[in-house]
Chains A and B, each alone.
Chain A
């Protein structure tokens, strides 16, 4: 394993009030972090869009837009991987989507519009999804590989 012993881990954390608009500050902060790590501009734009969606979900659903509740974002860079986790207080827990409807069905009004943000996020980053949490909140993880195929 090349670099197994000298893999540099760099991390940052951020928290902001659950009010629409603040997710843009989070997007700009994380974009600056990714830029320092050497991600290219196009990947950073994708990351910003995906992170914005994840933060809006946390603000609106997980924290019910209560400004007193904060959304926490942590970023860890290890080797070629950048892992970002968005955490909320879980006022509303993600239940998973019961119907696997495609975007066409949603656009034609044949399926609920909910879940389009998650569909889009999945297209923009290398891995995305909710993870197990012990604290009752929703934990949403986004992973980017620096050299994506």
Chain B
């Protein structure tokens, strides 16, 4: 317990549960979107930092646990793609994750530094399970999964020249 902290902070109007205030605040001032930015090392395992930050935010925005899990999975795929392919496992290269809070949902963008450009075909083709048995390259399922889990998905080139994926998850009220 931290009684001293509670006592001190409640006197200046801190709410113990910042929950609704985050999405609501945006209704009051839609011109000022709230943005959280993260820069992570390109090392497998550190996608968990992005997953925990995004799920912490999404829970507080009011997404239910299924949607939060979907978001975690999609973000995990996007960040590991950036680490493994875009930044080719170079720990000095960063993965940029931007979380934008909107009244109607959460926009998540993930950008790498483009050591390797994403093959555009990979973003549109639906992989076939039959091919995975016979072909050497068993990839392509991550992007398919992201499309299944998120409400909007878009691929582009980041201002820095890297690969960028923008995902949106809608808040249903």
Binding site for B on A (CB under 8 A): 8, 10-17, 19-22, 24-29, 31-33, 35-36, 49, 53, 56, 60, 67-68, 103, 107, 113, 116-117, 120
Q: Can you report 28 A-B residue pairs in the complex whose CB atoms are below 8 A from each other?
A: A12-B40, A12-B46, A14-B38, A14-B39, A14-B53, A16-B36, A16-B37, A17-B35, A19-B22, A19-B34, A24-B18, A25-B36, A25-B56, A25-B60, A26-B53, A28-B56, A29-B38, A29-B49, A31-B52, A32-B53, A33-B46, A33-B49, A35-B48, A36-B48, A36-B49, A53-B5, A67-B34, A107-B4
How many pairs, one residue from A and one from B, have CB atoms within 8 Å of each other in the complex?
102
Chain B residue contacts of A28, Cβ below 8 A: 52-53, 55-56
A24 touches B34 (CB 8 A): no
Q: How large is the interface on B (under 10, 10 to 19, 20 to 34, 35 or more residues)?
A: 35 or more
Cβ-based interface call for B45 (8 A)? yes
B25 touches A67 (CB 8 A): yes
Main secondary structure of the interface of A (DSSP, over half): helix
A120 touches B32 (CB 8 A): no
Cβ-based interface call for B102 (8 A)? no
Cα distance, A113 to B34, chains bound together (Å): 32
Chain B residue contacts of A14, Cβ below 8 A: 36-39, 53
Q: Which residue of A lies closest to B14 (CB)?
A: A20
